[in-house]
Structure 1
Amino acid sequence: MLIATAAFAMPSSAWAACAVADPASTALGTFSPNALLGGAPPYVPVLAGFDCPATTISVLSGNFLRATVTSADGFKLTSTNPLNTVTAKYVIAADGAGANPFAAGTPFVYMNGTLVNLLGLLGGSARNVKVYVRPSSAAAVAPGTYKGNFKIAWEWRFCDLLGALGLCVGTLDANPTTIPVANVAVTMIVTAKPFTVSIVTHTTWDPQSTTGNPRAIPGSKQRTTITLTNPDIIAIDANSLNIVLPTPNRGAVALDGDGTASPTFVKTAEGSPASSLAVTYSTPASTTDDVDFSENGGTSWTYDPTTTPKAVTNVRVRPRGTMAAGSSFSVSLPYVLF
C-alpha cells in the first residue's frame, strides 16, 4: 500500500535528503464555461510534492527518478456546490507545453540511468519539482468553485559516484521501501466572461464652428462609437454578435456622414490584438449588408431611411466573423441634432 512519508535521512546531519510532502493547494485560475469547453486554458504549474535540496543528480547507471500519478475520481474537478453535478476534468504533464503527459498508474520516467534523461524538464535540478495541470470540460459547467485531488508516488535513486561493480561509493539517496506519496490538491474558479460594450459620443461638426471645436447645438453632427471587447481567452462564436443602437434624443441618423472630410456613414476600427470582425455597408435600403434600420423600436429591420431619416428609432449592426480572444472592435455611426 502507498502511504505519504519522507525519505530516510543520510548519515551526515548537514546533508538534506530528498523528501516527499503534501504541497499547498494550487489555484489553476479563473475560466469561463466556454473556455473550458473549447480547451483554451493553459497548462498551469503545480507543486508536485518532491524536493531534493542538496542531492547532486548524476546520469549514472542505476540512477533513476520516476513519478506515478493516480486519481480516485478519474481526474475530475468537482463543484463545491452539490447542486452543480456537471464536473470538469484535467490532464497532467511533466512540462508546460503538454508534450510529456502522465498516464494514470504508469510511471513517468524522468531518468533511468544513461538510457532515459528527461532531467531538463526539471530545470537542471530536483528542487520543488512541478507538474503541469490543464483543466477542460466536455459539457458546460456552472459558475462556482471546483476542486480536485490526485496522488503522485515518487521513486528515486541518486548516487553521485560509482565504484567497482557499479556499487555506489559516493553520496546515495533513494526512496524508502514504502514508496512515498504526495497528495496534490487543485482549485479552479468558473465564471462567465461575456463581451463588454462601451459607448462614447463626440461632436464632430456644427454650423458655426464647422470642425474647429464644434459644440452640440441644433444642426450639429456627432459620431457615436460602440466598442466591443472580448475579455475571454477563447474566441466568440462566428456571426453571433448584434449591436443595437437607439437613436439619441433630438437626433437623427446622418446618412451623409459626420460633417468631417469623410462622408462615410459606418466606420470600424480594430483594437490590439485585432478581432478579425468585419462590417459591410452598401446603401440604406440594402437587405444584404450588415447594417439595418428600424422605425418601430426594433420590431422589424427593413426600414429604408433614405426619405425620412428622422423616423429611424434604432440601428442594428451585425459584425461578421469570429471575435478573437482578448480583442476589441469598434463601430461608429453619425447623427445630426435638431
Structure 2
Amino acid sequence: MSRPKTILITGSAGFIGYHLAQRLLLEGYIIIGIDDFNNYYDVRLKEARLDRLKGHHNFSFERVSIEDRAAISRVFSQHSIDIVVHLAAQAGVRYSLENPHAYIDSNVVGFMNILECCRKQEIEHLLFASSSSVYGANKKTPFSTEDRVDHPVSLYAATKRANELMAHTYSHLYRLPTTGLRFFTVYGPWGRPDMSYFKFTKAIFGEEPIQIFNYGKMKRDFTYIDDIVEGIVRLLYKKPDPIQSSDLLSQAPYKIYNLGNNQPVELLTFISVIEEKIGKKAIKEFLPMQAGDVPVTFADVDDLMIDVGFKPKTSIEKGLGKFIDWYRNFYNV
C-alpha cells in the first residue's frame, strides 16, 4: 500500500491555508504547515486556527518565514514533500500603499525561495495563490485567463503578476509543473479581519459607521471559502499539460485558473445581506474610490469547469449566514 501524499501548505495559519489544511487532514493526507505569524492582523486568530490543526495526528508545523532562505530550505530537505500549495503572502491592496517593502520581501523574495526549493527537491506539482487583482484596469468582463494583464493598479497586484511570470519561467526551464490560482474576494468563517465583510460585521455589531468606497458603486465576485478549497483540491493532481496549452507560444507545464463565483454582487447588496443576517442596519459613510481599487471583479471559470468539472456556487446569503454565525460564536456577540 502506497503512503499518503505529503503536502506542504505555506500560510497554513492563514484564512485559506487553514481551511485547506483541515480538509486535506480529514482526507488522510500528511500536512506540513508553515507560517510566520506576522502581525498584519490579530495573531490570536491565527493561533486559534493553528490550535485546531494541531489536533490532527497527521499535521506538523514549522514557524518560519518564506523570506528566510535557509529555514525554508531546511523544511524542504527534512520532509519528503510531494505537492506544495503556496498560500503565504503579504495580502491586502490598501496596505501595499503604506508598506510596499513588505510585498517585495514576502511575495517576490519569498516566492523565489519556494520556487528554488521546489526545483531542487523535484516537487510533483506547485500550486500557488495569485489574485483577481492582476486584472487591474481591464474593462472587459468577465475576466478571462486569456486576457492580457499588463496594467496592475496596486503593488500587491504587480507582485502577484510577478509570481505568475516567475512560475512560468521555472516551468519552462526546469519542467516544474506549476498552477496559478487567481482568487476572487474570498470570504467565510475564520476569515481575515482586514477584509471589508469582516470590518462591516464588526462595525455593525458595535454600532459604528462603515466606510463604503466609490459611493457603493462597486461589484465584487465574492467567493465562499469552501468553494475555493474545493477548487484547489480538485486541481492538486491536475498537473498542467503543455501539449493542451491554449498558448501556442508556451510549451511549459504551467496553467492559470480563476477561482471565483462567476456572479458579481453590488457592494450595497452585499452589505444589505450582512445587515439582514445580523438584524441591524449599518451606519453608512460614503467615500470616493480608494487608490488601488477597481470598480468590478468578475471571474470567467470555464477552464475550471472543463478541466475539473467544478464551478463555485455558494450564494452570498448562505455564505454570509455561515460567517455571521461563526463571528457571533467566536467573538461572543
Query: Fold-level match, TM-score > 0.5?
Result: no
For the pair shown, the structure with the greater C-alpha radius of gyration is 1
TM-score (norm 2): 0.20
Q: Which structure shows the higher helix fraction?
A: 2
Q: Which structure shows the higher strand fraction?
A: 1
